[in-house]
């Protein structure tokens, strides 16, 4: 079993996840490509059979001052397979914030297999992520309990800040999108097709705001607009996703029969653990050793919230909650452990804090906190960030950063109907500002739609046409919600 480090023991709100009219949008871009200036060499991307070409591009860390430290940005290109290729590539913008795009290549390349016949696919590790001067926070001393507590200890934040060889103020979204524009020029592409997932949609929209004449099309999967106030919105959207899960169980005859009082069971279990935390034993994936875990109210909330991201895992929740109510917490905690580890392995917590502490947390008001205080997930999703951001250096945010992006760019917007982090309401908000956008909802999917059902075909058709006008998204409505998992011995 490979060793794990505590940088992967991250809170559920990190496991997530997120404008003025463009003055230049009316100016048509030049169609001709320019000679690339980035030296690319053949390389292999983990999990990708096709040969890629990789290189680095240096930029100023402080782009405004244009002095001081230079940082290297990692770039990987999977070239188009045919000679008759289109000049505009597909650029992948990763989520988090804090994920590196290059490490996602194995996951997303199947989505672009046919498009890759005639278009390059470009992966750029955003500054502060992956191998682009990552803002990683290593701490081997963090106990396994911290993963289940879903905490962001002040000691960890202070230690992280002290060990960084970087100015955290320079790792915000609008600066990173200036990097992307510079990389576009250096690679010689006249225009780009952007695919963004979760926080990557915020990045894509910011690039459209600043460089709309260089964008041919955008795919936004799980919209996280600058206006959504991470992690505050998780309380509201998490509550809604949990409510849909309970309603779905009530609407399925066998689930209703086996778990007749799921809502009451959850409330009772929370009350019980808030008063008398329980103890259980689980295997530590870092060492293979058994670890003693205190299951308190926060552990329960984390154990419920995380699986809501993935419909297949959410289908296990009634079983896990029922087992926990009987004193067996392993079914609930085991799926959380692997999910958290898989997602957080490619996540730079320092970059995450740089974005959220500059762009989101400062806009959270006392009235906001009072409003979510009565929700099921409540302030447990928020308070750690308020403390962390009190000491984290805050970067500048442009004056128009929260103004809706208005652009004629062709846009395909995808949302999961049971997504606890970026539900359809955020996609509706952005679609209203983009006249050439179509917003399709997959009602039974969670966080991330692109790789499911007919979504790859929709994306392919959209990018080829450069328009969503002729698309029919009804096929997404036919993707079923996974059946709820039943205890052993219960058959359908």
Average pLDDT (358-383) is 91
Average pLDDT (402-409) is 96
Average pLDDT (306-319) is 94
> For residue 168, which of 135, 200, 199 has the smallest C-alpha distance?
135
Whole-number average pLDDT of the chain = 89
Instruction: Write down all domains in the chain, each with its CATH number in brackets.
Output: 1-492 (3.40.50.1820)
User: Beta strands 192-197 and 90-93: pairing type?
Assistant: parallel
Average pLDDT (139-159) is 74
pLDDT at 12: 41
96/403 Cα distance (integer angstroms): 22
Would you say residue 361 has pLDDT above 50? yes
- Helix/strand/coil (H/E/C) assignment for every residue in 350-370: HHHHHHHHHHCHHHCCHHHHH
At 23-70, the pLDDT tens digits run 333 334 444 557 788 999 999 999 999 999 999 999 999 999 999 999
> For residue 435, which of 397, 404, 475 has the smallest C-alpha distance?
404
| 485 membership: H or E segment, kind and range | none
pLDDT above 90: percentage of residues in the chain: 77
Buried b (16+ CB within 10 A) or exposed e, 65-100: eeeeeebebbbbbbbbeeeeebebbbbbbbbbbbbb
Higher pLDDT, 387 or 339: 387
Confidence grade of residue 378 (pLDDT, cut at 50, 70, 90) = confident
pLDDT at 335: 74
Confidence grade of residue 151 (pLDDT, cut at 50, 70, 90) = low
Q: Are 17 and 41 in contact (CB under 8 A)?
A: no
Average pLDDT (334-358) is 81
Would you say residue 274 has pLDDT above 60? yes
In this prediction the pTM is 0.91
120/114 Cα distance (integer angstroms): 11
pLDDT at 25: 32
pLDDT at 346: 79
At 87-114, the pLDDT tens digits run 999 999 999 999 999 999 999 999 999 9
């Amino acid at each position: 079993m490979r060793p794990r480090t505590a940088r992967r023991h991250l809170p559920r709100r990190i496991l997530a996840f997120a404008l003025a009219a463009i003055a230049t949008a009316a100016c048509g871009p030049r169609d001709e490509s320019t000679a690339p200036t980035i030296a690319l060499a053949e390389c292999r991307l983990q999990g990708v059979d096709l040969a890629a070409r990789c290189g680095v591009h240096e930029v100023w860390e402080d782009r405004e001052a244009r002095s001081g430290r230079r940082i290297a940005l990692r770039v990987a290109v999977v070239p188009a397979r045919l000679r008759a290729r289109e000049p505009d590539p597909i650029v992948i913008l990763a989520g988090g914030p804090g994920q590196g795009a290059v490490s996602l290549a194995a996951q997303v390349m199947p989505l672009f297999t046919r498009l890759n016949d005639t278009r390059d696919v470009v992966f750029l590790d955003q500054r502060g992520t992956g191998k682009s001067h990552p803002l990683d926070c290593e701490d081997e001393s963090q106990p396994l309990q911290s993963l289940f507590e879903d905490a962001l200890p002040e000691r960890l934040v202070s230690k992280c800040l002290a060990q960084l060889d970087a100015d955290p103020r320079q790792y915000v979204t609008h600066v990173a999108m200036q990097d992307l524009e510079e990389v576009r020029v250096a690679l010689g592409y006249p225009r780009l097709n952007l695919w963004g997932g979760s926080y990557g949609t915020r990045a894509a929209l910011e690039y459209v705001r600043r460089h709309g004449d260089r964008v041919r099309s955008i795919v936004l999967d799980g919209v996280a607009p600058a206006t959504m106030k991470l992690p505050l919105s998780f309380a509201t959207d998490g509550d809604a996703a949990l409510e849909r899960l309970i309603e779905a169980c009530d609407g399925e005859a066998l689930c209703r029969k086996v778990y007749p009082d799921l809502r009451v069971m959850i409330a009772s279990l929370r009350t019980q653990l808030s008063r008398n935390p329980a103890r259980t034993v689980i295997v530590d994936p870092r060492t293979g050793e058994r670890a003693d875990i205190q299951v308190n109210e926060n552990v329960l909330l984390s154990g419920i919230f995380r699986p809501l991201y993935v419909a297949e895992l959410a289908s296990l929740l009634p079983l896990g909650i029922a087992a926990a109510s009987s004193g067996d917490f392993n079914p609930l905690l085991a799926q959380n452990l692997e999910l958290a580890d898989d997602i957080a392995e490619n996540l730079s917590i320092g970059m995450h804090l740089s974005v959220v502490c500059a762009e989101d947390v400062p806009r959270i008001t006392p009235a906001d906190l009072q409003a979510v205080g009565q929700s099921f997930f409540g302030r447990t999703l928020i308070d750690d960030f308020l403390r962390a951001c009190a000491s984290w250096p805050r970067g500048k945010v442009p004056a128009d950063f929260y103004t809706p992006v208005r652009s004629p760019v062709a846009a395909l917007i995808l949302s999961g109907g049971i997504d606890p982090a970026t539900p359809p309401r955020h996609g509706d908000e952005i679609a209203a500002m983009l006249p050439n956008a179509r917003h399709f909802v997959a009602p039974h999917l969670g966080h991330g739609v692109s790789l499911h059902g007919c979504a790859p075909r929709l994306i392919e058709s959209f990018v080829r046409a450069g328009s969503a006008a002729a698309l029919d998204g009804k096929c997404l409505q036919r993707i079923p919600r996974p059946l709820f998992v039943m205890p052993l011995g219960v058959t359908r």
